[in-house]
Amino acid sequence: NNNNNKTQMDSSGWLSQGGWQGRDAAAVDKLLHWAGEDGAELRGVAVVSFGPERGYGMRATRQIAPGEHIVCLPRCMHVTPARCQRDMPVLRKARAADFSTLVLWLVHSQELADHHQQPEKDQGVTATAAAAAVEEGAAAVEGAVGAAIYTRALPGPAELGNAVYMSEEQLSSARALGEDYARAISVVQSRVSSCTRYIQDLQAEYPKELGTSAFSPSRLRWAQAIVCSRGLSVNGASMLLPVIDMLNHAKDGCVLRFNDAGAILVTTTRGYDEGDEVCLCYGDKQAPELLANYGYTPQTVTGSEGGECS
C-alpha cells in the first residue's frame, strides 16, 4: 500500500535525518513546511543533505518496493508556463517562450523573496500569516508567497556548476574531454544566449514590467542556470517542481506520473533498502549533457578531477 508510512511535512523526525548542513538549511526547512501545508507528501523518504559537494537529496526511511509512489506533489505546486503567466500577466501578453517564461518567473519570484520577509511560527510558515505579509492582490497572494519561499530554497550562484557558471578555464577543460562535451556545452550556451537576446527584446517592448533593475543580467544568468539544471519535461511540458527537484539523477531512478487529481507522483522503478539514496531519472542523458546542464558527471572521465565535476 503506497499510503503506508506516509510522511507529512513536519520537523518531528524525518526532517533531521542525515543532518541539515549549509547556509540554505533554514530556507529548505521553510520550503518543506510550506509544501506540506499545500498538500505535498513524502512516503518513506526523507530530504537529507549530502554535504556541500552534492547538496540535498532523498534517502529511504524504510524498505521501498518497486511501483510505490514516494512523493506526491499537488497541482497547485507545479510551476508551469501557464502558472507563470498567471503570476506575471505580461508573459501571456508577450507570448514568451517556455524557457524564458520560467527564467523571468524565477527572477520575479526572487524579487518577492528579497522584499517580503515571511512570518514564522514554530512549525514554519502558515498560509494565513504568509498571506498577510505579501501585497500582491487577493488572487495572487498564495502563489506569490509560495514562489518567494521556493526561490529562497534554490541554490545560489556559488552552488551552481553547470555551463552557465563555468569559468573559461573550466569550459576549456570540459571541452578537452571530447567532441560530445564541447557540443553539449555549446547547446547550453546557445540556449542561454538566445534566451538573453529574447528577454532583451521583451524588456524593450515592456519596459514598465520587465525593464526594472530587478531583471538584471546577474539575476537572469542565475535563473537561466536554475532552469537548465532543475527544469523537467513532463509529458512534453516544461516545468519546475519544488521538492521533487531535490532528487538527484540516476539512470535507474524513479519516474514521474500523474494521478487523477493532476498531482505528480514520483514512482519507484526498483526496490530500495532503508538508508539508500532514492533518485529520479532525468531522462536518457549521457555524461556530456549532465556536465553541461547539471554541473556533474556520474562517472570518472579522463581529464576531470574525479567522478563528479562541479
pLDDT of amino acid 142: 58
Residues in the chain where the model's pLDDT stays below 50: 1-23, 118-140, 300-310
Answer whether 268's CB lies under 8 Å from 300's CB: no
pLDDT of amino acid 115: 67
pLDDT of amino acid 131: 45
Of the candidates 49, 78, 61, 30, which has an alpha carbon nearest to the alpha carbon of residue 242? Answer: 78
Is the pTM value of this prediction over 0.75? yes
Cell of 173: 577543460
What does the DSSP 8-state code read for residue 79?
Answer: B
Torsion sign, CA atoms 163, 167, 170, 175: positive
Of the candidates 226, 191, 208, 261, which has an alpha carbon nearest to the alpha carbon of residue 90? Answer: 208
CA angle 91, 95, 97 (to 5 degrees): 90
Torsion of CA 31, 37, 38, 41, to 10 degrees: 80
